[in-house]
A and B are shown apart, each in its own frame.
Chain A
């Protein structure tokens, strides 16, 4: 037998095995039970419109708040970590190590319960406010490292050229270094954003009211009340509806920016 014929037969066999496996799965699966438990139209109808108008809205809103806050904190920490003054570097390094090292769940719990009780402080926004603040603190720690790497990824000659033109250090950072650093960090920052979307589900530990439920908490509650897993499947689809288009949009954005480079 010729070598190419042999290869073709080998490939054909692999396709056959794949098709057989899929057919087997379809035949063996208990479709009625699956639909009964995971895809029940009646249960799905009951979730709407609140699952979108309340839960999905909250997930997006919380993510945006945590991302914006984390970004500002991350920039501040990154600049501190690059500071010529050692104590600033120490504080930034300590902060980053601490909040990257702790589980986000622990930080949220601490901010929502331990801190208000210990110091009798009221964080604006109540439980959700405290939880969001914790998310910002954690996100800031992660983003700081990404932004620091981005700033250091800008060639040294850029700052030298700007300083040679008489631009002060702060202006150089804002107008010349940071815009270039942000292009470098778009892919890792997209990652951070997607991680944050999912981390908003941890806010349940801070406790939530009917109005502050995000997708996961909403789905959990519905699973309990309806004794059916359909809300979980809807939650999964909602997350994917948010994250997949987002990563596509960022990819397009990146390609457009690459053109001006």
Chain B
């Protein structure tokens, strides 16, 4: 938790290829502790791949990724321990369908953090209340709406007491009327000081909550900076072209 001076996430000259296709062409970025960084860009720009490299769900081809100063590409690194400190929220929620909401939230607490059953349940209850789905604790994921599932997924990550959270298009699979509930939870999280890296199409959220905005296209960072500046007065033609389509 104490990361005095060390950025939460530091990415340097990151390259990633799938076969002959290079999807990340040298990415540099820094996310400081407590910062909310939003990543936008057209589909296929590599923004999800970038996010997935940060907890090594994707194996980078070359480059450097430091999480709280730890080189996560070092073969010696205990990846499971690093991952336990990085919450990840997916577009498709990825709740465990064979487990109740409570068990979804406690299984990793018990198996990874070694918490006992009661303590894990207590943490789970607290986080479910925090995201507003406390009454669904005994339900199975299939019986929840998409918005509820995504909030449970956020609570599942929070139950690990992560130092930072990654969001991979968390509202893209939701019905429009359910997007607001999830964004509210994310906004509260940001205001509580959580370090967040968010791949999103929600420009309103990026403008209002983001400390930093990164626009990616074709595997590279085209422009970045204060969200109001990037969204208000984009400097690059590609950024302007993209924003004119989505805004």
Q: Interface residues, chain A, CB within 8 Å of chain B?
A: 155, 157-158, 160-168, 171, 175-176, 179-180, 183, 260-261
Are A166's CB and B112's CB within 8 A?
yes
Q: Give the top 3 A-B pairs by smallest Cβ distance, nearest first.
A: A166-B84, A165-B108, A161-B94
9 inter-chain pairs at a CB distance below 8 angstroms, sorted by A residue, are A160-B94, A162-B96, A163-B57, A164-B157, A165-B83, A166-B160, A167-B107, A179-B98, A180-B97
Are B140's CB and A158's CB within 8 A?
no
Q: Which chain A residue lies CB-closest to B113?
A: A166
Are B160's CB and A165's CB within 8 A?
yes
Are B140's CB and A165's CB within 8 A?
no
Chain B nearest CB: distance from A223 CB in Å? 48
- With A175-B107, A175-B111 as known contacts, state yes or no: A167 contacts B80, CB within 8 Å: yes
**Bound: A146/B142 CA distance, A:** 25
Are A157's CB and B160's CB within 8 A?
no
Q: Which chain A residue lies CB-closest to B153?
A: A161
Chain B nearest CB: distance from A163 CB in Å? 6
Chain A nearest CB: distance from B205 CB in Å? 22
Are B107's CB and A260's CB within 8 A?
no
Are B111's CB and A171's CB within 8 A?
yes
Select which of A155, A161, A171 is within 8 A of B88 by beta carbon: A161
Q: Which chain A residue lies CB-closest to B143?
A: A260
Chain A nearest CB: distance from B68 CB in Å? 15
**Bound: A25/B243 CA distance, A:** 81
Are B140's CB and A157's CB within 8 A?
no
Residues of A within 8 A of B80 (CB): 163, 166-168
Q: Which chain B residue lies CB-closest to A260?
A: B140
Are A261's CB and B111's CB within 8 A?
no
Are B92's CB and A167's CB within 8 A?
no
Are A176's CB and B96's CB within 8 A?
yes
Are B111's CB and A167's CB within 8 A?
yes
Residues of A within 8 A of B94 (CB): 155, 157-158, 160-161
Chain B nearest CB: distance from A31 CB in Å? 55
Are B112's CB and A165's CB within 8 A?
yes
**Bound: A175/B153 CA distance, A:** 17
Counting chain A CB atoms within 10 Å of each CB, which of B57, B95, B113 scores highest? B57
CB within 8 Å of A: which of B115-168?
A: 140, 142, 153, 156-157, 160
Are B88's CB and A164's CB within 8 A?
yes
Please name 7 further chain A to chain B contacts, defined as beta carbons within 8 Å, in addition to the given A166-B112, A167-B107, A261-B142, sorted by A numbering.
A161-B94, A162-B96, A163-B57, A164-B57, A164-B157, A165-B84, A260-B140
Are A164's CB and B83's CB within 8 A?
yes
Counting chain B CB atoms within 10 Å of each CB, which of A160, A164, A167, A175 scores highest? A164
* Interface: B86 (CB within 8 A): yes
Chain A nearest CB: distance from B140 CB in Å? 5
**Bound: A175/B88 CA distance, A:** 19
- With A166-B108, A261-B97, A261-B142 as known contacts, state yes or no: A161 contacts B160, CB within 8 Å: no
**Bound: A167/B84 CA distance, A:** 8
Residues of B within 8 A of A171 (CB): 111
Chain A nearest CB: distance from B108 CB in Å? 4
**Bound: A158/B93 CA distance, A:** 9
